[in-house]
Chain A
């Protein structure tokens, strides 16, 4: 059976590496992107099964990427937004733009994987 493809957009290399390792262990094929520009390129080339995106990134923020996915690409791709600043405005904006979930740092990797898996099972 083919593994699910997960696009992880995170500028913090260390954290991204840690999450990527964990996702791989759970059986996902992980594509790692460091900035918004790279994410857009990847999304244009190949649509992953899930997008896990940090809100604060160079070039394009997570919300901009989300907007791009929903309005630019017209895709229903499950998008999980990660944010260090879990303020109300960000959270509401993310959900308005069509985020499937909003997770604030610090993140429990096991919980994040459980959420993603549940979403993928439902879809």
Chain B
């Protein structure tokens, strides 16, 4: 009940007055919006359904077509080929519609994902040949990022390498999603894409992106990665980090200095990557740097450094590690340091509790221990260092005495230094030193050339015999004459074959001065046969047997000699052992010069420029003047003549002729001959038919009678060449349409025939005739039509004969009232135009200009305006 004194205010509880119409209107509005929305949804859904249905149908239609395209083989039947062409035309027609293009692109992209190998390549080729890439290029120009990305993906997946330059620009795009897609595409499309990317990117490269790029690189076939150390100096830290990871991935350990330096980098990520590289490539040199930077590093980097030290470090690093163990605040790092110490030197962690001192382990005096037992015992006695040290000395002494008793030339370097032994480390000095003496060498070892090759050069044994040693008053002491069959070079300790005897001729014999080409040089060279080449040092130890060295002198021989004499000079040599033809031994490399010394001072004085330098004394020999000749293949000839020496490469001895001894007239003759031969050779190599006239002149010149055969041969050759050139001109002319026809489809062929119709000429008639005989159907019909047209065109051109031309000229001349001039007056030209001619010309000019003017757009405008006026 309401108390009577409480007044009730009805305004406070009644609802505000709202007009019903307004409510109705509002409800209607909402309903209509909902309806519109529903209609829109239904419409859109239906549209999408229709679109997808259409796409499905199109895909069904396209799939067999694509299969035909992709699996058409070279040996396909005619029906298959014709079917292929028909499909291609149909496909091209379909591609005029944007929707169809879109679906086809989608289909090809889907197929590409599922198919690999050559079929995948065919899909990419088909995509490009159908011109679908143009749509992708259009997408690249879009302002919407998703379209651009679609375009990039499409082009990169379809391997459109031409798109590389377009996509390269997008690497610097401000939108990261486009940039990332472009980076992947650039690396995919070009083998050098990674180089461009690393050079040009200014933005960060995310971890995911790095993985994607690495994946792309890994999937490349026959990929040869560039040297990534170049980018270790990049300004972009992300590039440096990525380069370090790539270096590690591709095992490029040639960037040691840069990698070590990068440990000092501010970025922890780069430091860590560099440390991983150091660990991976075992850069021991980095240990100092690692220790240096350790204290300023983060915990993760410190742990990485300790892991690396554990991997690369030695006992020298224990001090540093102990320091870390005591000073480092972080438990993880301290723990890592201990584990590092343990891995470097596990013994340091061994317990010392209950370990007794060495003195407690004395050997009882009543037990005698044999040497061998002692050795065995020593290995077991871990702490008894002093005991096994004694044993060590004993064994060494035993060996020394053994070696001495055997009285060999072998020097045995025994290590007598006592290593510092501690309780912690095992000294291996107690082990016996095993020395193989000469007598213990393999008894059946055969010194084959292969063995010699494998041997160390200082180990080769040189067997030699001294044949003759005749000393004269030389400046140096003669070499020691040694007769030995087996001498170990190691014992003699020589660096060259200087120990070989110097073979010299008595001065009394030499005084009979003799021409160098009359000296009979007999020598024997024994060389090991081997397929390998020999170095100069190896050749020092080659088995060399030299037996005789003779000088036959004739006293009154004049110093001048003719070319005939040079030709007839004889060089004798005896082949002792056949060696490989390819081996060429330079005498100055073999130190057997002694055998070739000729004591012949006067000749030397006059012939300083001789190819063969002749030593007059031992001092000269020691100075090792270079001998400019080489001994090349042995065993091919016994006697060599001059002509053979000139022509064949396999000459026995090569040397320059002594210029000073050749007569001047002979020289001039030789010069002339050489020049002529040189000239003729040049003409032979470079000349053409224009030289024939000159050659004819030479043929009739007496000076060149010696070369007449060669000249005639040249003329004949050049005649033949010019004849060939002429026949080339007669050859069938190149037809551009023929070439194009070979590689195009039916539609294109028809287009080309239209072009032939429009611009073809006589050259195309043969081609068209061939085409008619080969092709069938529409193409044949069109070709016949074009041929008829061309023939009539050519015929009409030919019918404009000279009389017609002259008739036309006469008409003009009559119009101008020009009289035909006499032959004598041909040069009496009058350039002043007559009035009539001038008027005719003016009329022509006006009509031409009027025609042009009226035909032009401006002319039509003028007519239009004049009509309006």
Q: A107 at interface (Cβ–Cβ under 8 A)?
A: yes
Evaluate contact between A106 and B115: CB separation under 8 angstroms: yes
- Surface stretch bound by B, among A9-17, A60-68, A72-80: A9-17
Q: A42 at interface (Cβ–Cβ under 8 A)?
A: no
Evaluate contact between A14 and B63: CB separation under 8 angstroms: yes
Closest chain-B Cβ to A68's Cβ sits at a distance in Å of 25
Q: How far is the CA of A72 from the CA of B261 in the complex (A)?
A: 68
Q: How far is the CA of A25 from the CA of B77 in the complex (A)?
A: 13
Q: A1 at interface (Cβ–Cβ under 8 A)?
A: no
Evaluate contact between A108 and B71: CB separation under 8 angstroms: no
Chain A residues with Cβ below 8 Å from B63 are: 13-14, 17-18
Q: B816 at interface (Cβ–Cβ under 8 A)?
A: no
Closest chain-A Cβ to B87's Cβ sits at a distance in Å of 13
Contact of B117 among A15, A84, A108 (CB under 8 A): A108
Interface string of A83-118 (1 = CB under 8 A from B): 010000000000000000000011111110000000
17 chain-A/chain-B pairs, Cβ below 8 angstroms: A13-B60, A14-B107, A15-B111, A15-B114, A17-B60, A17-B64, A18-B70, A21-B71, A84-B114, A105-B113, A105-B114, A106-B116, A107-B116, A108-B117, A109-B115, A110-B118, A111-B117
- Given contacts A13-B59, A13-B60, A14-B107, is CB(A106)–CB(B67) below 8 Å? no
Q: How far is the CA of A22 from the CA of B67 in the complex (A)?
A: 8
Q: Which A-B residue pairs are the 10 nearest by beta carbons?
A: A108-B117, A21-B67, A106-B116, A17-B63, A108-B116, A15-B114, A14-B63, A105-B114, A18-B67, A106-B114
Q: B82 at interface (Cβ–Cβ under 8 A)?
A: no
Q: How far is the CA of A12 from the CA of B71 in the complex (A)?
A: 19
Q: How far is the CA of A17 from the CA of B63 in the complex (A)?
A: 6
Contact of B111 among A14, A22, A25, A111 (CB under 8 A): A14
Which B residues contact A (CB, under 8 angstroms)?
59-60, 63-64, 66-68, 70-71, 107, 110-120
Chain A, Cβ-Cβ closest to B72? A25
Chain A residues with Cβ below 8 Å from B111 are: 14-15, 18
Chain B residues with Cβ below 8 Å from A15 are: 110-111, 114-115
Q: How far is the CA of A110 from the CA of B120 in the complex (A)?
A: 12
Closest chain-B Cβ to A102's Cβ sits at a distance in Å of 16
Closest chain-B Cβ to A84's Cβ sits at a distance in Å of 8
User: Could you tell me how many residues of chain A have their Cβ less than 8 Å away from some Cβ of chain B?
Assistant: 17
Closest chain-B Cβ to A8's Cβ sits at a distance in Å of 13
Chain A residues with Cβ below 8 Å from B68 are: 21
Q: How far is the CA of A109 from the CA of B66 in the complex (A)?
A: 14
> Which of A14, A15, A108, A111 has the most chain B CB atoms closer than 10 A to its own CB?
A14
Chain B residues with Cβ below 8 Å from A12 are: 110, 114
> Which of A22, A84, A111 has the most chain B CB atoms closer than 10 A to its own CB?
A22
Chain B, Cβ-Cβ closest to A105? B114
The total of interchain contacts (Cβ-Cβ below 8 angstroms) comes to 55
Extra pairs beyond A21-B67, A106-B116 (18, CB < 8 Å) = A12-B114, A14-B107, A14-B111, A15-B114, A15-B115, A17-B63, A17-B64, A17-B67, A18-B66, A18-B67, A21-B64, A105-B113, A106-B112, A106-B113, A106-B114, A107-B115, A108-B115, A108-B117
Chain B, Cβ-Cβ closest to A82? B114
Evaluate contact between A18 and B59: CB separation under 8 angstroms: no
Evaluate contact between A110 and B107: CB separation under 8 angstroms: no
Closest chain-B Cβ to A85's Cβ sits at a distance in Å of 13
Closest chain-B Cβ to A24's Cβ sits at a distance in Å of 9
Q: How far is the CA of A18 from the CA of B63 in the complex (A)?
A: 7
Q: How far is the CA of A13 from the CA of B107 in the complex (A)?
A: 11
Chain B residues with Cβ below 8 Å from A18 are: 63, 66-67, 70, 111, 115
- A residues 39-69 near B (Cβ < 8 Å) are none
Evaluate contact between A106 and B59: CB separation under 8 angstroms: no
Closest chain-A Cβ to B122's Cβ sits at a distance in Å of 11
Chain A residues with Cβ below 8 Å from B60 are: 13, 17
- Given contacts A13-B63, A14-B111, A17-B64, is CB(A22)–CB(B117) below 8 Å? no
Q: How far is the CA of A108 from the CA of B116 in the complex (A)?
A: 5
Q: How far is the CA of A84 from the CA of B120 in the complex (A)?
A: 16
Chain A, Cβ-Cβ closest to B70? A18
Q: How far is the CA of A52 from the CA of B67 in the complex (A)?
A: 19
- Given contacts A21-B67, A21-B71, A22-B67, is CB(A14)–CB(B59) below 8 Å? yes
Q: How far is the CA of A110 from the CA of B67 in the complex (A)?
A: 14
Q: How far is the CA of A17 from the CA of B114 in the complex (A)?
A: 12
Chain B residues with Cβ below 8 Å from A14 are: 59, 63, 107, 110-111
Interface string of A1-38 (1 = CB under 8 A from B): 00000000000111101100110010000000000000
Chain B, Cβ-Cβ closest to A110? B117
Q: How far is the CA of A17 from the CA of B66 in the complex (A)?
A: 10
Q: How far is the CA of A108 from the CA of B73 in the complex (A)?
A: 16
Q: How far is the CA of A14 from the CA of B63 in the complex (A)?
A: 6
> Which of B71, B114, B119 has the most chain A CB atoms closer than 10 A to its own CB?
B114
Closest chain-B Cβ to A87's Cβ sits at a distance in Å of 17
Contact of B71 among A22, A105, A107, A111 (CB under 8 A): A22
Q: How far is the CA of A91 from the CA of B389 in the complex (A)?
A: 64
Chain B residues with Cβ below 8 Å from A25 are: 71
Q: How far is the CA of A96 from the CA of B59 in the complex (A)?
A: 37
Chain A, Cβ-Cβ closest to B107? A14
Evaluate contact between A109 and B107: CB separation under 8 angstroms: no
